[in-house]
Amino acid sequence: MVDMRFAFLVFAFLFSCAAVAAEFKKLVIIGDSITEGYGVSQDLAYPSLLQKKLDTLNKSWRVVNSGISGSTAASAPSRVSWALKQKPDLIVIALGANDGLRGTTVKSIEENLNAAIKLCKDAKVKVMLAGMRLPPNYGADYTRDFAAVFGRVAKKQGIPEIPFLLENVGGKPELNQADGIHPNEKGHSIVAETVFKAVQKQL
């Protein structure tokens, strides 16, 4: 009798945990060091701030910060494949900045982003693409072609786009760390608002 009661309690506990987990949907942000929150504490990186904004709306979503420093668009397909194992309801792909800083060909960036997005669509998972831009010192032609990739991919795939992840942050010293690339705490707050406005329509 004691064993049966214990087994019942264990079952009830596991069932309740599963029920609670089922109440929440999952938003995975696949990005690089900007998403990871390089140079700031995790609770002040934009994915954590996005979570707080969603909580104020009583939205039953959980944000998963899948930012890895140094990540490029070349890793997008494999990282999306891994993320899909978590059964997400929405994926935001925020990759490409490192490709641009390394002068990766626009064609390569485009192919990798298209491949990653196709994986999401094949899995029937909503996906959004965050655009990036480069400082002007990388050359006018490459800077222009790089920025155009994200909108072109989003249009081709028929998915929502965040036109520029660092909108109102990029190029502003007071909103970035000393390297001029990674947002500081104030910068992350603005990025969180940009992403928040974009994802609300997809929730």
Active site residue 33: yes
Longest pairwise C-alpha distance within the chain: 77
Spot the catalytic one: 3, 122, 141, 179: 179
Active site residue 55: no
Spot the catalytic one: 32, 66, 145, 182: 182
Residue 177 burial by Cβ neighbours in a 10 Å radius (0-12, 13-18, 19+): middle
Rounded Cα distance, 41 and 25, in Å = 25
Nearest CA to 128 among 98, 89, 100? Answer: 89
CA dihedral 170, 172, 173, 178 (to 10 degrees): 0
Nearest CA to 53 among 197, 185, 202, 201? Answer: 197
Rounded Cα distance, 174 and 187, in Å = 8
Active site residue 48: no
| Type of residue found at 137 | N
Lookup: tokens for 68: 């890895």
Annotated catalytic residues are 33, 179, 182
